[in-house]
Amino acid sequence: DWSKFAANEINEERITYVAIASPTAKPTTAVPPTTAVPSISPQPTSTYPRLKYVGDEWKPKSVFPLSECEGDCDSDHDCKNDLICFERHGTIEPVPGCLGGEDESKGTDYCSRKDAEIVTAPPTTAVPSISPQPTSTYPRLKYVGDEWKPKSVFPLSECEGDCDSDHDCKNDLICFERHGTIEPVPGCLGGEDESKGTDYCSRKDAEIVTA
């Protein structure tokens, strides 16, 4: 009959839909960022003091006791506070905690810290070249008198002589007593051709002038 025929037609044309479930996505766990370990750069050698000869045997008295990397010392008593007198064996032996001294002609001993280590330049750090100051900017040694004779030239200015004590020099200058006729005076030019060891006024912080 008509009702059966209609039912068969509907069954034959029926479309079956299959629901495909999408797979459940697994939650992702956020990975915390990696903390970068800071690299430690070696300490630049410029932070260390350079060796400096300022006197010997408590002459001049104004520079003793000696500070770190200053010389010449003969015992720990010559050095300030807890510093020790580092006695070198040879002219090129490095002093712990100090720079320089490789070009010395005599084995001066210097004050150093007990816990100081030998200073070595970092292999990866380029050391900038320092242009030497023109020697023309330094005054030349000048003999102007002795024992306050003539009085008009005393007290003496920088690089003037002959002085016998700091009292003979102007302001904060010191009397640099030389040991020999050719010993250079810090901060001054000349004197190599002298026949007598005149002593000259010099600045406390002056260094030996090299051409």
DSSP three-state, residue 167: helix
Q: Which distant-in-sequence residues (6+ apart) come within 8 Å of 139 by Cβ?
A: 158, 159, 187, 188, 189
- Return the SS3 of 156: strand
Q: What is the DSSP string of 126-137?
A: PPPP-PPPPGGG
**C-alpha span between 58 and 60 (Å, rounded):** 6
Residue pair 99/48 in contact (Cβ under 8 Å)? The answer is: yes
Q: Is the pLDDT of residue 203 over 70?
A: yes
pLDDT at residue 122 in the model:
54
User: Based on the number of CB atoms within 10 Å of its own CB, is 104 exposed (0-12), middle (13-18) or buried (19 or more)?
Assistant: middle
Reported as a single tens digit per residue, the pLDDT across 136-178 is: 688 998 989 999 999 999 999 999 999 999 999 999 999 998 8
Task: Report how far residue 138's alpha carbon sits from residue 179's, in angstroms, rounded to the nearest whole number.
Answer: 22
Question: For position 193, what pLDDT does the model report?
Answer: 66
Work out whether strand 84-86 and strand 110-112 pair parallel, antiparallel, or are unpaired: antiparallel
- State which amino acid sits at residue 56: D
